Amino acid sequence: MTTFPESFLWGTATAAYQVEGAWDEDGRGPSIWDTFSHTPGLVANGDTGDVACDHYHRLEEDLDLLAGLGVGAYRFSISWPRVQPGGAGPLNEPGVAFYDRLVDGLLSRGIAPVATLYHWDLPQELEDAGGWPDRDTASRFADYARLMGERLGDRVRAWITLNEPWCSAYLGYASGVHAPGRTDPAAALAAVHHLNLGHGLAVQALRSTAARDALMSVTLNLHHVRGVSEADAPAVRKADLLSNMAFLGPMLEGAYPRELIEATSSVTDWSFVRDGDEATARQPIDVLGVNYYNPTLVRHWDGSGPKETADGHQDGTASPWIACDDVEFVRQPGPYTEMGWNIDETGLTELLLRLHRDYPDLPTMITENGAAFPDPVGPDGVVHDADRIDYLRRHLSAVAEAIAGGADVRGYFVWSLMDNFEWAHGYAKRFGIVHVDRETMKRTWKDSAHWYRDVVSTGKLPE
């Protein structure tokens, strides 16, 4: 029987734009995702986050759901345009009041709030002024972090600055399949840098405002990259540089690897990196957030024959893999989830052990892991999602294996608490352990929610 450490933190995760709805209520300003989803043709089925799961209006019910699951923590994100419309100036008090209620509601139920400051919903005005490719966005972000530290820092003891800056930069500004939908590789690398800088500045701002013992973190969607054969090692290295070291380098080592600068020299000269920026990006953090769904398989591409692009990130008109013209992303063997992502938990163990090897003093936490499946509601009105239970069981075993191998993994958050707006896929992909009826908004526990409650309460994986 697989048993987790007693102090292991069990949780579920969501993000503001994916669940809240109330997109234009109580003074909330527009974000790049409002603009993106309101543009015909960019999100499947014309779906938007206007209503999402109506979580903004169903807060108490959703807090009770969390209490029913027995989780020790809840990872949510703060909608920047809700609390500071336009991304500058004074706070919008009704917006802050919502997060006050959320945090207080969690604490009164014995659930630790884990707050992500940025889960992709940049105030539209900041994008109009240049977005993440513009240096000033990092300063705006730090200002917002400071304000949140001041207002929620007495109660929130775990902060995550950014969620998956890889997606913000490369899907938002290179392949354009996410908001704001730009396809400019040089801008995407500038966005990478300003996200790194913004992270560092935000940690500084939180350290000066939040509780002394608050944990600081950032969540990365590190790619566990493997090669088809030994000969593909250079392709593996390049994909690793662009996807992982572009963030781990500055944030944890205080420098971009020289190889990364060289590999991208035809795209940018990196002159947006100013003296001292890399040192600013490298702030001591307490735990590294890891989001893992599946591994990545690459091969050297010599230009002959069609190129595979099976990286799991949706094909846009351009590739998110800047300067990787000679790297092919190869489709991996199944089984697959509804996203078309292969199920392979061994990548998670290997990734956690690599992080432990490279950064032995930095604990990790799985801030997202989960799967979308078709999830039909059975004649009994229930979703019997054995496939999701199997996915979660495999990945939790993989975490336990990494712990047994010496990795200091502190917790695990299922993505997601409930079915929600899956970005450019709209509502077609259901990741929840709780089912949400799109007509009535009724929440119904799937079998996986019952299973997870048992895991959480015992700290063990059932046989």
Show which residues are catalytic: 164, 368
CA 353, CA 348: separation in Å to the nearest integer? 9
Stretch that binds ligand FCB, among 149-157, 159-167, 301-309, 402-410 (CB under 6 A): 159-167
In whole angstroms, how close is the CB of 416 to ligand FCB at the nearest point? 7
Q: What is the CA radius of gyration of the chain?
A: 21
Give whichever of 177 and 318 is closer to ligand FCB, judged by the CB atom.
177
Q: Do β-strands 296-300 and 327-329 pair in parallel, antiparallel, or remain unpaired?
A: antiparallel
Q: Which x/- pattern, by CB under 6 A, does the window 259-298 give for ligand FCB?
A: --------------------------------x-------
CB 189 within 8 A of CB 196: no
Considering only residues 78 to 137 of the shown chain, the ones binding ligand FCB according to CB under 6 A are none
Position 311 contacts ligand FCB (CB under 6 A): no
* Cβ count within 10 A of residue 425: 16
By the rule CB under 6 A, 341 interacts with ligand FCB = no
Closer of 167 and 297 to ligand FCB (Cβ): 167
Q: How far is the CB of 269 from ligand FCB (least distance, A)?
A: 30
Could you tell me the two tokens for 98? 């919502």
> Taking CB under 6 A as the criterion, which residues in 206-225 touch ligand FCB?
221
Does residue number 144 form part of the binding site for ligand FCB (CB under 6 A)? Answer: no
Closest of 180, 174, 148 to residue 161, by C-alpha: 148
Pairing of strands 296-300, 409-415: unpaired
Q: Which of 9, 15, 16, 461 binds ligand FCB (CB under 6 A)?
A: 15
Using a CB cutoff of 8 Å and minimum separation of 24, what contacts does 458-461 make? Answer: 459/3, 459/4, 459/5, 459/6, 459/8, 459/10, 460/1, 460/2, 460/3, 460/4, 461/1, 461/2, 461/393, 461/396, 461/397, 461/400
Residue with tokens 């790619």: 223
- In whole angstroms, the minimum distance from the beta carbon of 208 to ligand FCB comes to 28
- 422 near ligand FCB, judged by CB under 6 A: yes
CB of 360 to ligand FCB, least distance (A): 26
Out of 301, 423, 427, 445, name the contact with ligand FCB by CB under 6 A: 423
Cβ–Cβ contacts within 10 Å for residue 46, how many?
12
List helix spans (H) across 79-232.
80-83, 93-108, 124-128, 135-152, 165-166, 172-173, 185-209
Give the residue, chosen from 47, 121, 368, 375, that forms a contact with ligand FCB under the rule CB under 6 A.
368
Q: What is the DSSP string of 365-380?
A: EEEEE------PPPTT
Shortest Cβ distance from residue 272 to ligand FCB (Å)? 25
Interacting span for ligand FCB (CB under 6 A) from 78-86, 193-201, 343-351, 415-423:
415-423
Min separation Cβ 302 and ligand FCB, Å: 31
415 binds ligand FCB (CB under 6 A): yes
Rule CB under 6 A: which residues touch ligand FCB?
15, 18, 163-164, 167, 221, 291, 368, 415, 422-423, 431
